[in-house]
Structure 1
Amino acid sequence: MPMATGTRKRLTSAAITLHHPLDYYFALFLRAKKTEGLKPRTLNDHESHYRYFQRWLTGKYPTLKLEELTADHVRQYVQHMLTEQTLYTGHPTLESHNTDIGLSPATVNIRTRTLKCFLRFLHDEGYLQTDLASRVKLQKVAEDTLGAFEKEQVLQLLAAPNQREFLGFRDYVLLTLLFDTGLRINEALNLTLDDLYLADKTITVRASIAKNGTSRVVPVSKRTAELLSALVQENLSQFSKRSPSNLFLLNNGKPLTYNQAYERIRLHGENAGITGVRVSPHTFRHTFAKLYLMNGGDLFSLQKILGHQDISMVRKYVQLNNRDLQEKHAQSSPLVGM
């Protein structure tokens, strides 16, 4: 009895699967995501997270074929991230600075989500017979576990850059901007002169650089507006005829990159003696959110400033310790002033 056409097609597809390495299918996935309009940073995350998985899989199961991949293999990789992987493995500058074993559940979830997206693509496109993505679960993470700087640590960090030097002043302005606005680091690094409205004390985060693809206007304090204006003048004096449009530049006039900014911020934290919290660009965003509310700001204006469409996402940025709660109670108790 001859096989049905659909069955023959599935068998042919499975036979082709045997002859392609996993990289081949990831290239197909990446092309699909590019046509969907994903931002370069998101595409880079997909690629780097895939490489982590691919290196682990090649080392652990070097002869494994795609059609042999199971949910248990993926769970083994998740377990590896939780209990065996060194923090910053594969990072171009930070790998040698940390020997802690095991990624945080939140970090594991970020990498698992991108992997599940790839696995779902393989199933939807017919390259995997089993929907492995639906079988791999995320880690349970407490909602308010993201750290923030204490006020004293903010002052220590701002005092760390040597403002008498161009790079030190540039870093000081960047740190001040992050603390004052809660911008994502890539949003800050991609600001140009045309995004500044310093007379109005606002900056515009263009849709093309915003993570959610939506433009927003972010207020800045008078002090930050003055510093941004001073940095623009410093850039013009350093690179007078080239007139670079980016705000945060290297000594050669090229834009400061994410990895370079990350390393500079880490070094300033190290020089300032900051301990007990990760000194990273995203910690500034958490700190801004917490202090904004502590100083009387409301959750809905904070949501607009941070550029989140879901209020529940904003809540994850705010972690109040016992001292914070005592201060807020002292300001807001009904008995105050009675």
Structure 2
Amino acid sequence: MKLTRFDTSIEEFMIYCSSKNLSRKTILAYEQTLKFFSDYMRKTFEIERVEGVTKSHIRLYVNSLQERGKYTSVRVEKVNSNLQSRRDYGKPVSINTINNHVRNIKVFFNWLSDEDEITKNPVDKIKLLKGSERMKPLLSEGEINLVLSSFNKTKFDTYRNYIITLFILDTGCRISECLNIHVEDVDLSNKAVILKYTKNKKERLVFFSTRMRKELQRWIQYKDRYFSNELLFPSNRGNVMAPNTYETALRRIGQKRNIELFPHRLRASFAQYYLLNGGDLYSLSRIMGHSSLEVTKVYLQLDDESVRRQYQKFSPLNGIKID
């Protein structure tokens, strides 16, 4: 199919994104969002140039996102012939997902405005949808113990996955950051590790506990019997491990224990426990590698059990001696 001027503008934007050294995941998210949007503009309003888009068009597109079900706009034969058999196929698209689409569209049109490609910016008065989904409840101590006890520590791959799980729970790092750590990046004496492969491409120093140091010492000695390379958590073949390999293993353990489990939930639990145990938002933001405090504030969402624990810990009456 012949490229429209809208498609060309998207291609130019993607080149710009690549020049900014954004992560592959971020670039892919922009591209998918904008191609869906341009396809909607062309089919619904016959708009083939970015200059033709108005704020009303964007609002109508947001409304269409709310009305359609998950994956219903995806060409099944292009992606997965079994897509319609998914349990969540056709279910409502979440507010968070829709807001991610809106953010990506806003970035695109703000870039067009900065480049003087458009004279009137249609996203100037476009706001995110109000309300958001609550985070998954904090993993309880009992659930964490159940998960950790499910790993077979007598085999290389399952022992490695056990240590990775401990490491994320103890440091809050992303799984992609974790899998690119080299042994030389780990300072066992000072209980610190330099993360070099981060989301924003900036090195970040994170710290780990005394218990984690002992676990890492044992793990490194064990790993070195199998592989001589410098990766802290190599794949079974000694290469950089794919994140989905770990995600799949973690999900299986979650299914076995009837716990919804994925790497980001471990990271979120780290953040929430950090705050519950008295840590401050500013240091947490730095540890997590967030671009701003606004991103970190999402972890202030607490479930009822966490609020109950905090109340019992900080109740004014409990601290007052009353005759």
Q: TM-score under structure 2 normalisation?
A: 0.80
Higher relative contact order (CA 8 A, sep 6+): 1
Match of 2:250 among 259, 265, 282: 265
Letter of the structure 1 residue corresponding to residue 217 of structure 2? S
Specify the code of the residue in structure 2 equivalent to 1:167.
D
Match of 1:248 among 230, 233, 236: 233
> Which deviations, in whole Å up to 9, do the C-alpha atoms of 1:241-284 show, x marking residues without a partner?
xx1x3323322222122333333333332222115xxx332222
The residue number in structure 2 matching 1:33 is 17
3-state DSSP class of the match of 2:225? Answer: helix
**Of 199, 202, 210, which aligns to 1:211?**
199
Question: Is the Cα contact below 8 Å between 2:137 and 2:303 reproduced in 1?
Answer: no
User: Is 1:76 equivalent to 2:54 in the alignment?
Assistant: no
Match of residue 185 from structure 2: 195
Question: What amino acid is aligned across from residue 147 of structure 1 in structure 2?
Answer: K
Match of 2:263 in 1: 281
Q: Which whole-Å deviations, capped at 9, do the CAs of 1:264-306 have from their partners, x for residues lacking one?
A: 333332222115xxx3322222211211222333334333322
Change (3 A) 1:120 1:307: closer
Specify the alignment match of 1:237 in structure 2.
Answer: 225
Q: What stretches of structure 1 move > 6 A for 4+ residues in a row?
A: 87-92
- Cα contact 1:88–1:98 (8 A) shared by 2: no
Partner of 2:210: 222
Cα gap change, 1:186 to 1:54, in 2 (>3 Å): farther
Against the structure 1 CA distance between its residues 155 and 23, is the aligned structure 2 distance closer, same or farther, given a 3 Å change threshold? farther
Aligned length: 310
- The answer to whether the 8 A contact 1:178-1:284 is kept is yes
Pairing 1:137–2:122 present: no
- C-alpha contact (below 8 Å) 1:146/1:318 kept by paired residues: no
For residue 258 of structure 2, what is the amino acid of its counterpart?
A: G
Q: 1:190 to 1:216 in 2, by over 3 A?
A: same
Cα deviation 1:103-131 (Å, max 9, x = unaligned): 32122212221122112333444544542
2:281 to 299, 316, 319: 299
8 Å contact kept, 1:148–1:290: no
User: Is 1:45 the counterpart of 2:33 in the alignment?
Assistant: no
- Please state whether the residue corresponding to 1:26 is helix, strand or coil: helix
Residue aligning to 2:136? 147
Provide Cα deviations, 1:156-207, integer angstroms capped at 9, x if missing partner.
322333333222112111111111111122222222212111222211223x
- Range with bigger deviation, 216-225 or 229-238: 229-238
Shift of 1:63: 5.3
The alpha carbon displacement at 1:52 in A equals: 4.3
Q: CA deviation at 1:87?
A: 6.6
Matched, 1:161 2:144: no
Match of 1:120 in 2: 110
Which residue in the other structure is 1:111 paired with? Answer: 101
Deviates further, 255-264 or 190-199: 255-264
Amino acid at match of 2:179: L
Q: Letter of the aligned partner of 2:252 in structure 1?
A: L
Indicate how the Cα distance of structure 1 residues 303 and 273 shifts in structure 2: closer, same or farther if over 3 A, else same.
Answer: same
1:65 is aligned to 48
Match of 1:327 among 284, 297, 309: 309
Query: Which secondary structure does the structure 1 equivalent of 2:224 belong to?
Result: helix
Asked whether the equivalents of residues 171 and 208 of structure 2 are also in contact (C-alpha less than 8 Å), the reply is yes
For the Cα contact (< 8 Å) 1:330–1:336, is it kept in 2?
no
Residue 136 of structure 2 aligns with an amino acid whose one-letter code is: G
Q: What CA RMSD, in Å, does the superposition of the two structures yield over aligned residues?
A: 3.3
Instruction: Tell me if structure 2 keeps the 8 A contact 1:303–1:314.
Output: yes
Name the amino acid aligned to 2:315: S
CA distance, structure 1, for counterparts of residue 151 and residue 44 of structure 2? 47
Which AA in structure 2 matches 1:285?
R
Distance 1:175 1:53, change over 3 A: farther
Tell me if the contact between 2:138 and 2:272 (Cα under 8 Å) persists in the aligned partners: no
Report the secondary structure of 1:134's partner residue. Answer: coil
**Which runs of no fewer than 5 residues in structure 2 stay unpaired?**
none
> What secondary structure, in the 3-state scheme, does the structure 1 residue paired with 2:300 have?
coil
Offset at residue 139 of structure 1 (A):
1.2
